[in-house]
């Protein structure tokens, strides 16, 4: 192989490896499970002293924060609390704190250690002004829409720390084992590196 | 067939095709079930054909079978598409529910109603019925059968890459590295792999189109033989019963055949014209015949439009000048004298180029915008190299202007066929209709452009080839990482 070709090959491979390392090292807040719906529009108001509730099929284990999109009608902040109940008892709650308009997190105490099925999620407005909650509007204007809630794990995790979970989730999402995603990714990278080396060698047999 | 193994060109084509299959197979596992655009509808069509031997499109039936609908619900399908934080079943609870749902017996044959894809001809779906039934016979559940049909798509994606290599090798003979680079650039284009990993009739159409380009290029270089005439005809026939959009490249192919036939001795012309016309027309006639007699399904099937009473709003009907204006600005910078029908000065950049960089899932996740900026830089270099190749090889290109005219007419025809429903859809809904996959019948030309760039690099060709394949490989690996992040992180 010509030196210049080998140099290009080395740069390309190093670039791919560096990119993957950067992604694996990146720390950011991570989802604990699926959000309910996309926050497409503000679907209703919670009056001062009022509460809005919805029942979700499940809240994933590992959830430490509940994210919602709120609007405060120009007020600097809204005082809101949240409560999650299942089978008649409170499983987690977020005490009343000031939340600014936009995307906001309710820090849940205690964090959910395992999946909880059929959870009633309520947000209470403990401030003096009304608050709008975002979600998916109902097709029937007489019915309320579905609020958008997203479940996050505590703190931030790196991509590398997530790899075993990712493999497990991919298996769960297709009713199969967790090794398939890893195998597929290895196959993709293997095909890529093999093709690259083959071209670098002049497509020789 | 034997020459595939005994010649270096044949073996290289097979290797490129194998890479195409492996890449698409990997994508088929990485993408969660039903997360390729319209995949539930395509799979429903396969399921209907496999279970009832009739194509989808009946007015009396529900669009999806009970089995598929239940699986979609357990997969969290509706909360996932279009919702950046929507995910499939991650938790043990949901995974258990999914396994339970797909393990229960529900009817697989009570679907088959009209959908957005039911007007399409049935060739891909008939082929898909084979792996579907094989997986069913092996005791596979609905997700296993979906994966089996996805494997067929991966094979077709590989077949397209195989023919694209052969096309480029005919078009630009001499340097196998250039042809392999063009074919591999297609194989590692992430939108090609993404679609090749899903259930979609576009995969058969792309393979048929690649075979057609190869047949034409070979005939232009070596003259039309009986075998080539039959092959070109078969590619046209196969493409026409794979997806209706294929009709766009047929006029150009017919022009090519006419030119090739005109170059033959008089005595040969009729025989080879008939050899090409037979396989081109017979599949369509069989389909139309079956549709009119046995299936009640044909070229006029209106799809969901019939049920929705689809039509354009009063006062905003399509006009001929509107069609032309829309077509122009879909593909070129909008001229000053044309009405602004698509937002943005260079709509083609937004519609096609950004999608080429990557618009995955149900068009609901992309790379960060800086990647598109970097891609522009790469393309500027590629265009410069292609320009050099054209200048250096202008004499050779001039000798082949008839062939190039044929490809230009094929491009023109496809763009017109795409722009027509796109214009009407935008008038009706205000939303974009176009998706990059509609241009996939032209993947052979994309590969040829990349190969031309390698030629344009002159003595640095091998270095440029490695850089291009490397960028394509990186593009697809990071697209896979993006996809994994979208659905599993």
User: Which stretches of chain B score pLDDT less than 50?
Assistant: 305-310, 314
Q: Is residue A179 part of a domain?
A: yes
* CA-based nearest distance A180→chain B, Å: 7
Say if A195 is an interface residue toward chain B (CB within 8 Å): yes
Q: Within a 13 Å sphere around the CA of B214, how many CA atoms are in the beta-carbon half?
A: 26
Alpha helices in B172-225, H assignment, sequence order: 176-187, 190-196, 202-222
Distance CA B62, CA B267 (A): 55
Say if B91 is an interface residue toward chain A (CB within 8 Å): yes
How much is the pLDDT for A205? 63
Do residue B32 and residue A191 have CB atoms under 8 angstroms apart? no
The answer to whether B42 and B200 are in contact (CB under 8 A) is: yes
- Contacts for B319 with CB less than 8 Å, ≥ 6 apart: none
Say if A4 is an interface residue toward chain B (CB within 8 Å): yes
In this prediction, residues A140-151 reach a mean pLDDT of 85
Say if A164 is an interface residue toward chain B (CB within 8 Å): no
Which candidate, B384, B349, B383, places its Cα nearest to that of B369?
A: B349
Distances in Å between the alpha carbon of B217 and those of B171, B172, B210?
6, 10, 11
Say if A25 is an interface residue toward chain B (CB within 8 Å): no
Do residue A117 and residue B93 have CB atoms under 8 angstroms apart? yes
* CA-based nearest distance A37→chain B, Å: 6
Distance CA B451, CA B16 (A): 14
How much is the pLDDT for B76? 92
How much is the pLDDT for B469? 98
0.85 surpassed by complex ipTM: yes
Our count of domains for chain A comes to 2
Beta strands A146-147; A78-86: pairing state: unpaired
The answer to whether A40 and A137 are in contact (CB under 8 A) is: yes
> Is A61 found in the same domain as A107?
yes
Percent of chain A with pLDDT over 90: 74
Structural domain boundaries enclosing A103? 41-155
> Is A47 found in the same domain as A148?
yes
How much is the pLDDT for B306? 46
Do residue A37 and residue B79 have CB atoms under 8 angstroms apart? yes
How much is the pLDDT for A176? 72
Q: Round to the nearest angstrom and report the end-to-end CA distance of chain A.
A: 14
Distances in Å between the alpha carbon of A119 and those of A84, A108, A113?
6, 14, 14
> Is A143 found in the same domain as A65?
yes
Phi, psi of B181 (to 5 degrees): -65, -45
Q: pLDDT tens digits for A159-194?
A: 999 999 999 999 888 777 778 999 999 999 999 999
Do residue A199 and residue B143 have CB atoms under 8 angstroms apart? no
> Is A164 found in the same domain as A149?
no
Q: Which of B30, B76, B177 sits opposite A185 (nearest CB)?
A: B30
Tell the burial category of B452 from Cβ atoms under 10 Å away from its Cβ (0-12, 13-18, 19+): buried
> Is A167 found in the same domain as A123?
no
> Is A98 found in the same domain as A169?
no
- The domain that contains A48 carries what CATH number? 2.60.120
Q: Is residue A174 part of a domain?
A: yes
> Is A57 found in the same domain as A150?
yes
> Is A20 found in the same domain as A98?
no
Q: Is B15 helix (H, G, I), strand (E, B) or coil?
A: helix
Do residue A193 and residue B473 have CB atoms under 8 angstroms apart? yes
Q: Is residue A144 part of a domain?
A: yes
Say if B481 is an interface residue toward chain A (CB within 8 Å): yes
Domain boundaries, chain B: 2-104+116-296+340-488
> Is A142 found in the same domain as A164?
no
| Portion 454-473 of B in contact with A at CB < 8 A | 460, 462-463, 465-467, 469-471, 473
Do residue A195 and residue B11 have CB atoms under 8 angstroms apart? no
Rg of chain A (C-alpha set): 23
Distance CA B485, CA A169 (A): 11
How much is the pLDDT for A199? 97
How much is the pLDDT for B314? 47
- List the single best residue of B469, B480, B486 to mutate versus A (max A Cβ within 10 A): B469
Q: Is residue A205 part of a domain?
A: no
> Is A196 found in the same domain as A150?
no
- Token output for B182: 């063009």
> Is A190 found in the same domain as A140?
no
Distance CA B319, CA B327 (A): 12
Say if B326 is an interface residue toward chain A (CB within 8 Å): no
Distance CA B99, CA B109 (A): 20
How much is the pLDDT for B341? 85
Distance CA B45, CA B331 (A): 32
The answer to whether B298 and B285 are in contact (CB under 8 A) is: no
Do residue A188 and residue B98 have CB atoms under 8 angstroms apart? no
Do residue A181 and residue B86 have CB atoms under 8 angstroms apart? no
Q: Is residue A36 part of a domain?
A: no
Q: Is residue A100 part of a domain?
A: yes
Q: Within a 13 Å sphere around the CA of A6, how many CA atoms are in the beta-carbon half?
A: 3
Residue A42: strand pairing partners: A134
Residue A65 has pLDDT above 90, yes or no: yes
Distance of CA B242 to the CA centre of its chain: 10
Q: Is residue A35 part of a domain?
A: no
Say if A22 is an interface residue toward chain B (CB within 8 Å): no
- Token output for B477: 């690996």
Distance CA A92, CA A87 (A): 13
> Is A146 found in the same domain as A94?
yes
- List the single best residue of B7, B17, B26 to mutate versus A (max A Cβ within 10 A): B26
Which candidate, A153, A196, A135, A191, places its Cα nearest to that of A62?
A: A153
Which parts of B221-270 are beta strand (E)? none
């Amino acid at each position: 192989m010509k030196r210049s070709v080998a140099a290009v090959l080395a740069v390309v491979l190093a670039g791919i490896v560096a990119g993957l390392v950067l992604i694996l090292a990146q720390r950011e807040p991570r989802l604990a499970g699926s959000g309910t719906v996309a926050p497409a529009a503000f679907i209703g108001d919670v009056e001062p002293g009022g509460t809005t509730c919805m029942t979700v099929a499940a809240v994933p284990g590992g959830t430490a924060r509940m994210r919602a999109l709120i609007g405060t009608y120009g007020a600097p902040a809204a005082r809101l609390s949240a409560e999650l109940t299942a089978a008649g008892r409170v499983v987690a709650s977020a005490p009343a704190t000031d939340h600014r308009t936009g995307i906001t997190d309710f820090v849940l105490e205690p964090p959910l250690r395992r999946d909880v099925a059929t959870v009633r999620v309520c947000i209470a407005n403990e401030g003096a002004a009304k608050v709008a909650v975002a979600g998916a509007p109902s097709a029937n204007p007489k019915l309320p829409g579905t609020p958008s809630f997203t479940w996050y794990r505590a703190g931030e995790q790196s991509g590398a720390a997530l790899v075993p979970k990712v493999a497990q989730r991919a298996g769960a999402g297709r009713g199969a084992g967790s090794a398939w995603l890893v195998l597929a990714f290895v196959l993709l990278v293997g095909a890529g590196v093999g093709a690259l080396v083959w071209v670098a060698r002049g497509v020789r047999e | 067939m034997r020459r595939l193994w005994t010649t270096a060109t044949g073996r290289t084509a097979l290797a490129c095709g194998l890479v195409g299959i492996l890449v698409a197979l990997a994508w088929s596992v990485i993408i969660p079930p039903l997360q390729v655009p319209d995949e539930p509808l395509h799979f429903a069509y396969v399921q209907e054909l496999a279970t009832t031997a009739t194509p989808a499109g009946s007015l009396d039936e529900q669009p999806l079978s009970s089995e598929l609908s239940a699986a979609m619900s357990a997969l969290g399908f509706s909360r996932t598409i279009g919702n950046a934080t929507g995910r499939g079943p991650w938790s043990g609870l949901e995974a258990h529910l999914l396994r339970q749902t797909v393990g229960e017996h529900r009817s697989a044959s009570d679907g088959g109603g009209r959908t957005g894809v039911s007007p399409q001809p049935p060739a891909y779906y008939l082929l898909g019925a084979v792996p579907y039934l094989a997986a069913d016979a092996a005791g596979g559940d609905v997700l296993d059968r979906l994966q089996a049909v996805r494997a067929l798509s991966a094979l077709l994606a590989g077949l397209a890459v195989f023919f694209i290599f052969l096309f480029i090798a005919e078009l630009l003979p001499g340097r196998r590295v250039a042809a392999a680079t063009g074919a591999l650039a297609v194989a590692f284009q992430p939108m090609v792999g993404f679609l090749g990993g899903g259930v979609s009739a576009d995969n058969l159409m792309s393979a048929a189109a690649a075979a057609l380009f190869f047949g034409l290029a070979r005939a232009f270089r070596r003259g039309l033989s009986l075998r080539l005439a039959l092959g070109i005809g078969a590619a046209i026939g196969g493409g026409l019963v794979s997806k209706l959009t294929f009709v766009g490249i047929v006029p150009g192919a017919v022009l090519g055949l006419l030119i090739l036939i005109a170059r033959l001795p008089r005595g040969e012309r009729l025989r080879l014209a008939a050899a090409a016309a037979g396989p081109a027309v017979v599949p369509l006639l069989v389909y139309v015949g079956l549709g009119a007699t046995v299936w009640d399904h044909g070229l006029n099937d209106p799809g969901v439009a019939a049920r929705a009473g689809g039509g354009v709003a009063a006062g905003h009907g399509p006009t001929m000048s509107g069609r032309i204006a829309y077509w122009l600005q879909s593909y070129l910078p909008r001229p000053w004298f044309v009405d602004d029908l698509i937002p943005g000065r260079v709509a083609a950049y937004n519609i096609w180029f950004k999608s080429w960089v990557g618009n995955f899932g149900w068009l609901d996740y992309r790379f960060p915008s800086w990647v598109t900026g970097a891609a522009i830089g790469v393309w500027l270099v590629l265009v410069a190299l292609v320009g050099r190749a054209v200048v250096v090889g202008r004499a050779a290109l001039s000798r082949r202007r008839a062939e190039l005219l044929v490809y230009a007419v094929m491009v023109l025809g496809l763009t017109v066929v795409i722009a027509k429903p796109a214009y009407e859809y935008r008038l009706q809904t205000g939303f974009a209709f176009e998706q990059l996959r509609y241009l996939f019948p032209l993947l052979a030309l994309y590969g040829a452009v990349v190969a031309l760039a390698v030629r344009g690099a002159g003595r640095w060709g091998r270095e440029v080839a490695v850089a291009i394949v490397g960028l394509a490989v990186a593009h697809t690996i990071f697209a896979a990482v993006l996809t994994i992040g979208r659905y599993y992180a």
